[in-house]
Amino acid sequence: MTEEQNNQTPIIELNGVTKEYSSKKNFLSKGEASIIALNNISLAIQKKEIFGLVGQSGSGKTTIGRILVKLEEPTKGIIKLNGKPTNNLKGRLLKNYRSKVQMIFQDPYQSLNPHLSIAETIIEPLVVNRIGNTATRREKVIETLEIVGLSPGQEFFHRYPHQLSGGQRQRVAVARAIILDPEFIVADEPTSMMDATIAIQLFQLLLDIRKKFKMTFLFITHNLAAAKYLCDRIAVINNGVIVETGIADKVIKNPQNAYTKKLILAQPGFNFKN
Amino acid sequence: MALLRVENLSVGYKSKHGLIHAVNNISFSIEKGRSLGFVGESGCGKTTLGMTLMGLLPENASILQGDIFFNDDNLAGFNDEKWRTFRGKEISMIFQAAMNALNPVIRVDEQIAEVIAIHNPQMPRTQVFDQVKKIFDLVEIPEDRLRDFPHQYSGGMKQRAIIAMALACAPKLIIADEPTTALDVIVQDQILKEIKKIQTALNTSLIFISHDIAVVADVCRDICVMYGGQIVEKGNREEVFQSPRHPYTRSLLESFLTLDSNGDIKVPEIRESPDLITITGGCSFAASCKKKCEKCENRNPGWVNLSSTHQALCFEEVIHKD
């Protein structure tokens, strides 16, 4: 990252974010056990950056994603969007926040409503935010479909999710995320269910969108090779604590933390010594 | 003699659009104690192949042609009753979704014991549970977790329990279909080590099915690459992954991300999946092949020998064109 970028206000900032979940031991006793999912997380993501969050199941990486799109509120700590604190937003302010921060979920087989056509799925954010009229919305949907590589757009307009492949469904999810022209997108393991060739096509799409629309991404994954390909910087998270942050190539080439080293060693490669 | 020998096997699914040729005329064999990996993308027929070898094809699917020789038996002609005594004992399977493969209301040790008891009806119950203990020891699940229910296990432990179930009757061949797909890298690494360790220790044969070529390269010594229901390249792992010759294998490797890959990754064109209903003449990969020539579209390619163990389903002139 250059000096100049360092001086800019980060688009997203987490300051000392902690998230605890309390779980009642059983429904009769009043005793509560709390699980610390995130412990004092601080992060700053710069504009146009693809920032990778890498860790294994249960490390808290998805919780960070959910907090950023306001599906959860942190127990402690501050989240800033463009330098402004956004904790406990309500009503119109929350709606406004959500139009700026969008999410692409892991499983495109579950994140699309099977009863809605592709057009209805992608148009919904425009309707909710009262943008445009029927004609302009239709135009915008077709345009967005073509941006995400589902062209010609008219052909996909009236289809339903079950008529699409996994890769095409995830492109619909991308279209739904970008149609409001958000500033920041959280992509939570968007390719973990896909074949390698389909995954790399989706990565290319995210890179194209970043370039074209100057969007910023948080990419959540357990796959270091994918993070290295896609991300500018990465943070490695273990048990709710960020253990290492840095430029993706450097962290992977020269990891400092023991857990990062363990993650790198576990990555299957093509060494035929065994 | 090979433990398992598959010859000219074709499997089809009936659908309202016509017969889908999911597995199309494939042949291979596996010796005792060897590991054979099948790699390919969704829809290439690798799971159908595994299900055929386990006699678990759904109602609308059937073997269209070919033989499956296992020792002296031909599994292609087995009826349900024969499969019941055979399945789990001679060939067993490690399933993909460990979360769903265990019964949630039965204790884990009971589920493993059931497999042993069914195949050994005379065995006393205490001996069955001794056997269960031994297997849990092998897959490294602590003894005090034997009586747990599946929901008390983590994802990795469930997968170990599934492996234990597959090992219960000391089968001669284990088929593992994407056993680590739902797991994260660290747990995946542990499970793969476990599978390799057990396979060597028991000298069983292993067929390992996955879409992740790095995982297959890690576990298996011999590799078959599948595309459109056919095996398109086979050889040992060094031959297939270090000097791939079929254009499809090459394109797979070119776009596969590893920690060592730099700017040399190629993003493949978005390609239509091959039509498995109308099988016309010609190579199934021709539509997406960068090296295709005229005859690729009209004539079926044959096996080109590249070494005594390495073969590709292609034309000589295409393979040698660079």
User: CATH no. for residue A63?
Assistant: 3.40.50.300
Q: Are residues B152 and B178 in the same domain?
A: no
pLDDT tops 90 at residue A254? yes
B293 within a domain of the structure (yes/no): yes
- Total domain count, chain B: 2
B83 within a domain of the structure (yes/no): yes
Say how many C-beta atoms besides its own lie within 10 A of residue A158's C-beta. 11
Cα B214 to Cα B249: distance, rounded to the nearest angstrom: 13
Q: Which residues form the domain of A100? A: 3-21+35-266
Q: Are residues B50 and B114 in the same domain?
A: no
Q: Are residues B154 and B182 in the same domain?
A: no
pLDDT tops 90 at residue A17? yes
Query: Nearest residue of B to residue A238 by CA position?
Result: B186
Q: Are residues B307 and B220 in the same domain?
A: yes
Q: Which two tokens stand for residue A141?
A: 């949907």
The alpha-carbon gap from A220 to the nearest alpha carbon of chain B, in Å, equals 13
Q: Are residues B65 and B193 in the same domain?
A: yes
Q: Are residues B154 and B242 in the same domain?
A: no
pLDDT tops 60 at residue A5? no
A215 within a domain of the structure (yes/no): yes
The alpha-carbon gap from A57 to the nearest alpha carbon of chain B, in Å, equals 6
**A263 vs B: CB within 8 A:** yes
Residue to test with chain B: of A221, A270, A274, most B Cβ within 10 A = A270
B166 within a domain of the structure (yes/no): no
CB contact at 8 A, A182 and A101: yes
B98 within a domain of the structure (yes/no): no
Domain closes at, from B136, B161, B186: B161
Cα A272 to Cα B59: distance, rounded to the nearest angstrom: 41
Give the model's pLDDT for residue A1: 47
Q: Are residues B175 and B308 in the same domain?
A: yes
B227 within a domain of the structure (yes/no): yes
Q: Which residues form the domain of B8? A: 4-90+171-319
* Pairwise CB contact (< 8 Å): A229 & B251: no
Q: Are residues B117 and B80 in the same domain?
A: no
A273 within a domain of the structure (yes/no): no
**Three-class SS of B291-322:** CCCHHHHHCCCEEEECCCCCEEEECHHHHCCC
Domain closes at, from B139, B161, B183: B161
* Pairwise CB contact (< 8 Å): A224 & B256: no
Q: Residue A3: CB partners within 8 Å, gap ≥ 6?
A: none
For B77-99, what is each residue's pLDDT tens digit? 999 999 999 998 999 999 877 66
Q: Are residues B136 and B30 in the same domain?
A: no
Give the model's pLDDT for residue A57: 85
B95 within a domain of the structure (yes/no): no
pLDDT tops 70 at residue A274? no
For A151-206, what is each residue's pLDDT tens digit? 899 999 999 999 998 899 999 999 999 999 999 999 999 998 788 899 999 999 99
Domain closes at, from B161, B181, B200: B161
pTM (2 d.p.): 0.89
The alpha-carbon gap from A10 to the nearest alpha carbon of chain B, in Å, equals 28
Q: Are residues B85 and B31 in the same domain?
A: yes
Give the model's pLDDT for residue A3: 43
Instruction: Report residue A231's pLDDT band, with 50, 70 and 90 as the boundaries.
Output: very high
- Total domain count, chain A: 1
Q: Are residues B185 and B310 in the same domain?
A: yes
Q: Are residues B178 and B157 in the same domain?
A: no
A26 within a domain of the structure (yes/no): no
- pLDDT averages per 10-residue partition of chain B, 322 residues: 94 94 95 96 92 94 96 93 92 82 93 93 94 92 92 88 91 93 87 92 95 94 96 96 95 90 79 81 88 88 95 92 74
Burial of residue B129 (number of CB atoms within 10 Å: 0-12, 13-18, 19+) = middle
A271 within a domain of the structure (yes/no): no
